[in-house]
Amino acid sequence: RDFYSSSKTTPIPSKLKLRVTQACTEFCAVDGRAFDVITDDDFQNFAKVLFDAGRSLYKSSIEIKELLPHSTTVRKKH
């Protein structure tokens, strides 16, 4: 069960939605990924985990590189 679970959704500001859209477009286009990757359940779960981590650390200043695992760590796990 998620600590921050809520049945209430918050409207997303259009500027934030645009930033996310631009980041997703760049994520796909720069490395030749299929645009459908962002609708994949696994990618959306990854995004949700990052979002939840951000909410739980909202008073802290963290580097995203410190939060994400190294590629060799991911390779060893799977």
User: To which residue do tokens 């190294």 refer?
Assistant: 70
Q: Give the residue, 74 or 37, on which the prediction is more confident.
A: 37
Q: Is residue 4 within 8 Å of 52, Cβ to Cβ?
A: yes
Q: Is residue 50 within 8 Å of 67, Cβ to Cβ?
A: yes
Q: Is the pLDDT of residue 76 over 70?
A: yes
Q: Is the pLDDT of residue 1 over 60?
A: no
> CB-based contacts of 2: which residues, under 8 Å, 6+ apart?
52
Summarize pLDDT for 16-58 with one digit per residue, the tens: 999 999 999 999 999 899 999 999 999 999 999 999 998 888 7
The pTM (predicted TM-score) of the whole model is: 0.72
d(CA 43, CA 9): 20
pLDDT at 59: 81
Name the CATH architecture for the domain at 14-77. Orthogonal Bundle (1.10)
